[in-house]
Amino acid sequence: MTEAILTYRWTPEGFVRAWEAGAFERRVEMVDGEVIPVVIGDWHGATTARLIRALSAEGVEITTQTLPAGDSLPDPDCWVRRAAAQPVGMLGDRLSRWASDDVVLVVEVADHTATFDLTVKARLYGEAGFPSYWVVTHEALYEHLGPTPSGYSQRNEHRVGASVALPYAAAELSVAGLVST
C-alpha cells in the first residue's frame, strides 16, 4: 500500500507569525508556500553591495527587505521603490506590502540559484506586476520587462561588455562593473 505524503504549504500570515516568533534558525524566504533557506557567499554579498551603490538615484529608495508578492514572501537581494511610496498594507507587525507601481526594480543575485531565479522567481515577480526584474549572474545580467499573469513578456540578456539602462533614471550601468569579483 502506498502512503500519500502531505507537503505543508505556508500561508503568508502563518509564515510571518512563525518568523516573528523566532521559529527559523537562519535566513529563509517563502516561495509558493515553501520555506527556502537563503545562502549568501562572498561573490553574492559583494555583488549585492555593488548593486546597491550603483542603483542609487534621486527619487528612489533601495532596500533589502522582504517583498511580498502574491501569496509568497520572497527575499530579493535588493529592490528599488519610489521614495514617496507608502505601504498599502501590513503582514504582521513588521512587514509592509507595496503597490506594484511603486516597486520600480527587483534584483536577485544568482550565485547558485540562476535557474530558480530565472524561472520561479521571474514568474512570481511578473505575476505581482513589478515592472522590471533583474537576475545578476557571474556572466550576465538578465533583464525582465512587461509583467504578465504568468511572468514577463520580455527577457533581455546583457553580457560583460554591454550596459543596461536603469528603468527609473537616465543612466546606464556597465554589466562588467556589476558582475566582476
In what helix (H) or strand (E) does residue 140 lie, and over which residues does it extend? strand 140-148
**What whole-number distance in Å separates Cα of residue 129 and Cα of residue 143?**
15
Cut 0.85: pTM above it: yes
**What whole-number distance in Å separates Cα of residue 59 and Cα of residue 46?**
25
**What whole-number distance in Å separates Cα of residue 94 and Cα of residue 43?**
29
For the stretch 121-148, pLDDT in tens is 999 999 999 999 999 999 999 999 999 9
Closest by Cα among 33, 27, 43 to 75? 27
pLDDT of residue 2: 63
CATH number assigned to the domain covering 39-179 = 3.90.1570.10
Does residue 181 carry a pLDDT above 80? no
pLDDT of residue 41: 83
pLDDT of residue 4: 66
Domain boundaries along the sequence of the chain = 39-179
CB 120 within 8 A of CB 32: yes
For the stretch 14-49, pLDDT in tens is 888 888 888 888 888 888 888 888 877 899 999 999
Provide long-range contacts, Cβ within 8 A and 24+ apart, for 22-26: none
For the stretch 40-94, pLDDT in tens is 789 999 999 999 999 999 999 999 999 999 999 999 999 999 999 999 999 888 8
Does residue 164 carry a pLDDT above 60? yes
Which residue has better confidence, 108 or 181? 108
38 CB-near residues (< 8 Å, 6+ apart): 26, 27, 28, 29, 75
pLDDT of residue 99: 98
Q: Where do we find the cell 542603483?
A: 55
128 CB-near residues (< 8 Å, 6+ apart): 69, 70, 100, 147
